[in-house]
Structures are given as structure tokens and as C-alpha cells.
Amino acid sequence: MASTADIKNGIVLNIDGALWTIIEFQHVKPGKGGAFVRTKMKNLMTGKVVDKTYNAGTKIDITNVDRRDFQYLYNDGNEYVFMDKGNYEQLSVSEVVVGDAKNFMLENQDVQIALHEGTPLYVELPASVVLEITYTEPGLQGDRSTGGNKPATVETGFEIQVPLFLEIGTKVKVDTRDGSYQGRVND
């Protein structure tokens, strides 16, 4: 058994048989009273996010999660097929487990999948990916100085907000955590 001193972002806790991952945490030592740890955690099966506070020193049950490197192969309806880069075995993962990662995955892209006793829990992408704009309205002359944004569809079919001057065919860097535009990428 571990204690609240072992809490870090990304660890997985077993709480009443459900698996929860720590998204954020903060150790708090108020002037009066005992110290405590404030956490924000996400249920790995349902995706529900909750805030939970633990008194300092409380025992917690940290679950061992195996994070392995996979390569995304293709989408087969509601299943996403990945290949384990270690043993070349294929793994089908449901659309629910893949979640928002599907908006940023291209075929042959490397990802990490967290597994618990062989069951996929979630797909972890790099912090940013490079995607090509497949559709956007043309910008107007003079739009370069206004600093406005317009919607653009990238090659995965996901829509992001980009500066007005970007055109179809431009490669852009996209943050996989919130889908925000981070900049243009020169070939």
C-alpha cells in the first residue's frame, strides 16, 4: 500500500474496484489543521472526472499499469487496430477507449497504450502532432494583420481554429490535449 505522498500525475488508483488516473494534484499545508492532498482524477472506464481530497498520509491503492508502444494501423468501424511494436501482435481497441485521440491519429503513427491485465485503458498521444489542412475557407487579402481565427478541417476530419491566412494544404502543429493550433510547419 502506498500513501498520499506517492501521488503523481498519471498514476492509476484502484478505488472500490474502479480504476482512476490522476490528472492533477496539489499538496496543501494550511496554517491551521493537518496537511491534505487535493486531486482531480478521471475514471478510466467511464471518462468521468471528479475532485477528491485526501488527508496527508492516507493509504491509497496504486495499480500497476503497463504502458507499451504501439503503432496505429487502421479503423475497422467501431474498433481501432494497433500493432504492438515489441511483438508485432495486433490489438483492437474500442472507440470509447480511444476517445478524443481519434481526432489526432494518422495511420502508422506511434502511440502508447496503457494496459491493465491485458485490457486497454486509454491511448496516449505525443503532446503535439503535425496534420495537414484539408478544408478551410480562403482568407481575404488584408486578413494577416487582424489576428482573427477561422475553422479548418485537418486530414483526420477534426475541426480546429487557425489564423485567417492559412490555406488548404498547409501543415500545422496541433496540441493533442485541447486541439489548439500551435503553429505552421515548413516541409
User: What confidence tier does 50 reach under pLDDT thresholds 50, 70, 90?
Assistant: very high
Rounded CA separation 79/82 (Å): 10
Say whether both 156 and 172 belong to one domain.
yes
CATH for 170: 2.40.50.140
Q: What pLDDT sits at residue 61?
A: 92
Mean pLDDT, residues 56-77: 91
61 Cβ neighbours under 8 A, 6+ residues apart: 1, 2, 13, 14, 15
CATH for 17: 2.30.30.30
Say whether both 35 and 56 belong to one domain.
yes
One-letter identity of residue 102: K
The answer to whether 144 and 130 are in contact (CB under 8 A) is no
Given 124, 144, 169, the domain boundary residue is 124
Say whether both 138 and 174 belong to one domain.
yes
Given 15, 46, 63, the domain boundary residue is 63
The pTM (predicted TM-score) of the whole model is: 0.74
Say whether both 74 and 111 belong to one domain.
yes
157, with CB counted inside 10 A (0-12, 13-18, 19+), is exposed
Q: pLDDT per residue over 105-126, tens digit each?
A: 999 999 999 898 888 988 889 9
Beta bridge partners of residue 27, listed in sequence order = 37
Output DSSP code: residue 9.
Answer: T
One-letter identity of residue 111: V
H or E segment and range at residue 98 = helix 95-98
Strands 159-163 and 66-76: unpaired
Q: What is the 3-state secondary structure (H, E, C) of 49-86?
A: EEEEEEECCCEECEECCEEEEEEEEEEECCEEEEEECC
Is residue 145 scored above 70 in pLDDT? no
Is residue 140 scored above 70 in pLDDT? no
Say whether both 50 and 75 belong to one domain.
no
Given 63, 89, 104, the domain boundary residue is 63
Helix then strand then coil, % of the chain, to nearest 5 = 10, 55, 40
* Residue 50 grid cell: 471528479
- The number of folded domains in the chain is 3
Say whether both 133 and 100 belong to one domain.
no
Say whether both 157 and 133 belong to one domain.
yes
Rounded CA separation 180/64 (Å): 32
Structural domain boundaries enclosing 167 = 128-184
Q: What pLDDT sits at residue 141?
A: 58
